[in-house]
Amino acid sequence: MVYQSSHNCHLVMNLISDSCYSLTGYQSQDFIQNKIFYNQLIHIEDRKLICRQRRKALVKHQSFQLVYRIITANQELKWVWEQGKGIYCSDGKILAIKGLIIDITAQKQVEAELTKQNLALQKTETALIIVNQKLQRLAKLDGLTGIANRRDFDESLEKEWFRLSTTKLPLSLILCDVDYFKNYNDYYGHLAGDYCLRKIAQTISKNVKDSADLVARYGGEEFGIILPETSAKKAKKVAELIRTAIHQLHIDHCASKIRKYITISMGIASIIPTQLDSSESLIAKADKALYQAKEQGRDRIVFFERNDDRHTQTYLKNNNLIVLHNNGRWRQATLRKRARCFH
């Protein structure tokens, strides 16, 4: 629709093409005879803004482009695009406005549908991201105990090894094994065995309090505890807390060959990682210490010395804390004071 109108907000039409009927539902004579003002067709929510934008352009002697809604004679809502410019006197005063108005309703409907589809796609993508994050978390959890699984253990240990090899800070590892757990399963059944493992996992987690530490089910009845930036001395204290807490659970174990309740054996290794070595060496040391703990009677903690093949172990005897050192042969040194961490 081509038009020429007054420059006021009513847009009184001086000239208008016959195509105005297909656009507005009104005949050209309706506008020329002022039976209807074009401004009345502009949606009430758009009217003030469009008038302001048009006036601003005309004052600056600039052309304008506007997008807005109109209500037709049969109350149909349409989107239109208008392009126009002012006709000026020699002194710069505005005489009239001339321009072109076209129907862009179909285009707007396509845009609205695309926007709707894009929003739906964004929601789907967000939902997929959330689901994927949950799956990633679940992929790193042990289904029985709810703590980290072996996959997460391996990835975390490798990551900490690389990180600490640059910072030159210690990395400690504790490997735990439930004593005579096969006997427990055979005697009490697998459901009781599952419950026992869950309680042990919860107890270990409660006593490993640093957010950087990781408690994982290493395999079967074995648990692994990664302690970044933790010295050997601190790792021993953590192990003693865990072993004491397991004792205090007093989970019956009539099939155990050493006590009447559940106990664990623990192997500890501590090292400052280097890029010349690998995390597997730390696992091997902790595993060797765990093997020694089981060989020496179970229900005890054995520490693998970093620089050689010596080991130390701690356990309880007659309610006293016993520390054993190994230099080829075992020799015994008893502490006079009562054990504070074991019951």
Q: Which residues are catalytic?
A: 221
Classify residue 81 by burial, with Cβ atoms within 10 Å: 0-12, 13-18, 19+: middle
CA-CA distance, 339 to 343, in Å (whole number)? 8
Q: Please give the order of strands across the beta sheet that includes 214-219.
A: 214-219, 222-228, 171-178, 264-271, 301-304, 311-317, 320-327, 329-338
CA-CA distance, 64 to 282, in Å (whole number)? 74
CA-CA distance, 293 to 322, in Å (whole number)? 13
Task: DSSP for 12-64, please give it.
Answer: -EEEE-TTHHHHHSS-HHHHHTTSS-HHHHB-HHHHHHHHHHHHHHHHTT--E
CA-CA distance, 93 to 59, in Å (whole number)? 9
Q: What is the DSSP letter of 6?
A: -
Q: Are 226 and 157 in contact (CB under 8 A)?
A: yes
CA distance to 16, 40, 116, per residue, from 100 (Å): 10, 18, 30
Chain CA centroid to CA 280, Å = 29
